Structure formats: C-alpha cells, structure tokens
Amino acid sequence: MLFVAAGLLCVGLAYLGAILPGLPTTPWVLLAGYCFSRSSPRLERWLKRSPIFGRLLRDWDEHRGIRRPVKVVAVCVVVPVVTLSIVFGGLPIRVKWVIGGLACVGLCVIVFVVPTVRDRPPSES
C-alpha cells in the first residue's frame, strides 16, 4: 500500500511538473514507475500507456536514458526559471548561490550523465 500511495503521489507531482516551470517531471515519473512496478502491475501498465508519460517510461525501461528533445526542454525551462529566481527573488546571497549550484549540478546530470536515447533510422529491408 505504501508503494501505491507513493506512486500516486509521484504521478501527481509529475503532472504538476508538466505544467509548472521549475518543478521537474521526469524524476517523478520514473519514481512512480518504480513504485508501481513494486506494487501494482495494473497501475504500472496504466502509467506506461499514458499519452503524456508513457514514452518517457518506455525509453527509460528499454534504453535507460531519455531522448534529446526532453533534455533540451529541461534545460530551456530550468535555466530561465532559476535565473529569474536568483535575480528577482528576495533571497539571501547564500541561498542564491545554493540554488544556482544545485541547478548547475542538475543540468550537468541531465546533459552529461543521463544517457541520450538516439532515434534509430528506419532500416531498409
């Protein structure tokens, strides 16, 4: 029951991440998939068939990576949101440095650590 509850919470956070800038989507989808794989095959199938998250999960399951357009969108959302938070947020300078540093670490992980799934060219028969 804990894995089902955690999976549903993660799906909710993933949907929020899909519409709110600054809240990531991919980690929540992957965590929800993990929770459902441990608890509910029915919910795992539902998530993998989702028109919004299904391809992302299938790419992770099959290739242990994400596609280039997903990486580009992540970078294009994180950079302006973090920059605006640092510039216009009335935060102490230390907090701004922490936010900027964590954003840089996250971007480096997305760009350099997480494998990129390449589209296969259609094979000629």
Structural domain that includes position 71: 65-125
Measured from the Cβ of residue 35, the count of other Cβ atoms closer than 10 Å reads: 23
Residues 11 and 60 in one domain: yes
Do residue 72 and residue 114 come from a single domain? yes
Instruction: Please identify which residue in the block is written with the tokens 């929770």.
Output: 35
Q: Are residues 4 and 46 in the same domain?
A: yes
Query: What's the pTM?
Result: 0.68
- Residue by residue, pLDDT tens for the chain (125 residues) are 999 999 999 999 988 888 876 677 888 998 999 999 999 999 999 999 998 888 888 888 888 898 999 889 888 888 898 899 899 988 899 999 998 998 899 889 889 998 999 876 555 54
Among 11, 30, 64, where does a domain finish? 64
Q: Considering 64, 86, 107, which residue would you say is the last residue of a domain?
A: 64
| Helix ranges (DSSP H) in the chain | 2-19, 26-39, 41-48, 54-63, 68-88, 93-108
